[in-house]
Amino acid sequence: MKTTTYWSEAITKPGIEFPLTPLEVLEGKIPPEIEGGSLYRNGPALLQRGDQRVGHWFDGDGAILGVHFNQGIARATYRYVQTKGYLAESQAQRYLYTNYGFKLTGPIWSNWGKEVKNSANTSVLALPDRLLALWEGGNPYALDLKTLTTKGMDQLDGTLKPNEPYSAHPKVDYQSGEIYNFGLVFGLKSTLNLYKSNKEGRILKKAHIHLMGNPPLIHDFVLAGPYLVFFIPPVNIDIWPVLLGTSTFSDSMYWQKSKSTQILIIERESLNLIARGETEPFFQWHFSNGYLSDAGHLVIEFVSYEDFKTNQYLKEVATGTTQTLARSSLSRMMINPFTAEVLAIEKLLERQCEFPNVPSQRVGKSWRHTYLSLQRDNEPSAQELLNTIGSFNQDTGELSVADLEEDTYPTEAIHIEPNYLLSVIYKGKQETSEVQIFKSDDIKQGAICRLALPEVIPPGFHGCWRSATT
């Protein structure tokens, strides 16, 4: 049985841009500790042109929300990333490009050789002089940090080749400022590109790992002390229909339950592959964090799925009506870094969750709290989005859940020093969006400050915080 819920209006209607606007304080007050900082969030905001609808949530054109805190006032702006594809399709008033889950209608040859649109819709990376809008399959786009004016495609000071993929999940070492990332190059023989950059984003070192078998799906990785760790789940892509234009990436992916999840261990300084291993089959989009324990074991935390039903669920999200249940769990794995042998794996939290993250100061190190989005009810619903925020205590195993109203849908909560969480929240009954601030050590009390946004911000994917000292 299909059910349309409160979140569907925010997904199916296009996001509406607005200029830099002071935000009304609805409740509480802005903490002085976040003075001078900025919150950025990215997500798909346009899923339809005329009578054409995208085929997957991942296909929507990216739009960035920027919220700046200065002199006790919050000001926000919301802008579409002016990508090559967005500009061309806006002028034509129809879709011109294929995408992750979308292909053009018409004769079979209408999709041959068509360029895949860079939607710039997945995440953001704040550099000292610009904001990068990130996507999976190409160069990032650069934007002005304050106005969000699009500057154009960014090749990281010439160190990234045109159209060379730069993933949406870079990892930043808080102490050194070094940035690590990857890009997956599809083909009959796929290649995993590895990048090590300075804090300005300029790539200092590159490496390439050739992957065996059919093209895989790799969305994220983890920085764990002196190592980079990749999991490659048993999702393969039948690449020929994609290359011939007869199928999309999404529809050409298939789950191989008889295969294993592969593990790659890379030495972070040299970017050399030092070990390959395998373990039981599971799928994951996102990691929380990882570190090297005193015993010399890698400890990796992530959100796991039993299979790849999550892709079908996310495809349905774009329609505003979901019916596929993709169960997820917060999981932890211990690995021998020299052999990639799995020493232990356990489920920490058997509750529907996603978008796990930790304080930026603890990336690659041991940490105490994992912040994540959850479904409010213990028994997951196929008809709902994630609708509350949780904090999982590594020491006690206790889960704290924010006190949110039933019709609210928070985005990934971003931790800010010394002890705050920020989330952009859609309130379904009122059809409004807010920025809400929580105490990270006491999220049960709910928001300590609520700021009204002038337009609805469609639920999206990832964001970042840029402090006044960055």
pLDDT at position 1 over 50: no
Domain ranges of the chain: 3-466
pLDDT of residue 378: 84
Strand 141-143 relative to strand 131-134, pairing:
antiparallel
Summary mean pLDDT of the chain: 94
pLDDT at position 396 over 50: yes
Q: What's the alpha-carbon Rg for the chain, to the nearest Å?
A: 21
How distant, in Å, are the alpha carbons of 136, 182, 231, 312, 396 from that of 304? Answer: 20, 21, 11, 16, 21
pLDDT in tens, 428-446: 999 999 999 999 999 999 9
Q: Which residue has the higher pLDDT, 452 or 403?
A: 452
pLDDT of residue 111: 66
First vs last Cα of the chain: how many Å apart?
Answer: 49
pLDDT of residue 61: 98
Query: What is the DSSP annotation of 115-128?
Result: PBP----SEEEE-S
Outline where 283-424 has alpha helix (H): 309-317
What average pLDDT does range 169-189 have in this prediction? Answer: 93
Reference 363, options 464, 213, 285, 240; nearest CA is 464
Phi, psi values for residue 306, rounded to 5°? -70, -25
| Alpha carbons 418 and 128: distance in angstroms, whole number | 21
pLDDT at position 3 over 50: no
Q: String of b and e for 299-338 (b: at least 16 CB within 10 Å)?
A: bbbbbbbebbbbbebbbbbbbbebeeebebbbbbbbbebe
pLDDT in tens, 11-24: 999 999 999 999 99
Q: Tokens 């603890």 sit at which residue?
A: 362
What average pLDDT does range 105-133 have in this prediction? Answer: 87
Percent of the residues in the chain that have a pLDDT greater than 90, as a whole number: 89
pLDDT at position 112 over 80: no
pLDDT in tens, 30-77: 999 999 999 999 999 999 999 999 999 999 999 999 999 999 999 999
| Alpha carbons 195 and 247: distance in angstroms, whole number | 31
pLDDT of residue 470: 67
Amino acid occupying residue 81: V
pLDDT in tens, 202-255: 999 999 999 987 789 999 999 999 999 999 999 988 888 887 888 899 999 999
pLDDT of residue 217: 93
Angle (CA) 192-196-197 rounded to 5° is 135
Residues in Cβ contact with 300 at an 8 Å cutoff, skipping those fewer than 6 apart: 222, 224, 229, 287, 290, 332, 333, 334, 335
pLDDT of residue 2: 39
> For domain 3-466, is the CATH number 2.130.10.10?
yes
Which two three-digit tokens encode residue 401?
């859940």
